[in-house]
Chain A
Amino acid sequence: MNSFVSAATIGAKAEAAADIIRLSNVRRRFGETPALDGISLTVRKGEIFGIIGRSGAGKSTLIRCLNGLERADSGEIHIDGRNISGLAERELQPLRRRISMIFQHFNLLSAKTVEENIALPLKIEGVAKPERLQRAHELLDLVGLANKAKAYPSSLSGGQKQRVGIARALAVRPALLLSDEATSALDPETTRSILALLKDINRMLGLTVVLITHEMEVIRGIADRVAVIDAGRIVEEGQVWSVFGNPQTAITRSLLGSIRPQLPEHIAARLSPEIGKEAILSVDLAGPEAQGALFADLSAALPHSFRLVHGGIDHIQNQPVARFFIAVPARDDSLKDQVAQFLTARSARVEVLGYDTDHA
Chain B
Amino acid sequence: MTPIMLDLLLRSLWETVLMTAASGIISLVAGLPLGLALVLTARGGIAENRWINSVLGAVINGFRSVPFIILLVALIPLTRLIVGTALGTWAAIVPLAIAATPYYARIAEVSLREVDRGLIDAVRAMGGNRWTIIREVLVPEALPGIVAGFTVTLVTLIGASAMAGAIGAGGLGDLAIRYGYQRFETAVMIAVVIVLIVLVCGIQWFGDRLVQRLDHR
Measured CB to CB, the residues of A under 8 A from B are: 67, 69, 90, 92-97, 99-101, 103, 105, 107-112, 120-121, 123-125, 152-154, 172, 178
Contact = CB atoms under 8 A, between A and B. Distances in A.
A110 B144 CA distance: 11
Given A124-B132, A154-B216, A154-B217, A109 B125 contact: no
Given A103-B121, A109-B141, A111-B141, A94 B216 contact: no
Nearest to A112: B140
A107 B140 contact: no
A110 B127 contact: no
A69 B137 contact: no
A96 B118 contact: no
Interface of B: 116, 118-119, 121-129, 132, 136-137, 140-141, 143, 214, 216-217
A69 B141 contact: no
Contact of B122 (A92, A93, A94, A107): A107
A110 B216 contact: yes
30 contacts: A90-B129, A93-B129, A94-B127, A95-B127, A96-B125, A96-B126, A100-B125, A101-B125, A103-B118, A103-B122, A105-B116, A105-B118, A109-B122, A109-B136, A109-B140, A110-B141, A110-B216, A111-B143, A111-B216, A112-B136, A120-B126, A121-B127, A123-B136, A124-B127, A125-B127, A152-B216, A154-B216, A154-B217, A172-B126, A178-B125
A107 B126 contact: no
A153 B217 CA distance: 8
**Taking chain B's interface residues, is the majority helix, strand, or loop, or is none over half, making it mixed?**
helix
B119 A107 contact: yes
Contacts of A107: 116, 118-119, 121-122
Contacts, number: 68
A101 B126 CA distance: 8
Contact of B125 (A69, A123, A152, A153): A69
B198 to A, nearest CB: 32
Which interface residue of A94, A100, A105, A107 has the most chain B CB atoms within 10 A?
A107
A97 B118 contact: no
A101 B122 contact: yes
Contacts of A99: 125
Contacts of A94: 127
Contacts of B124: 69, 96
Contacts of A101: 122, 125
A118 B217 CA distance: 17
A120 B123 contact: yes
Given A103-B121, A109-B119, A154-B217, A124 B128 contact: yes
A69 to B, nearest CB: 6
A123 B133 CA distance: 12
A92 B128 CA distance: 10
A197 B180 CA distance: 73
Contacts of A153: 216
Contacts of B123: 120, 124
Contacts of B122: 101, 103, 107-109
B126 A124 contact: yes
Given A103-B121, A109-B119, A97 B216 contact: no
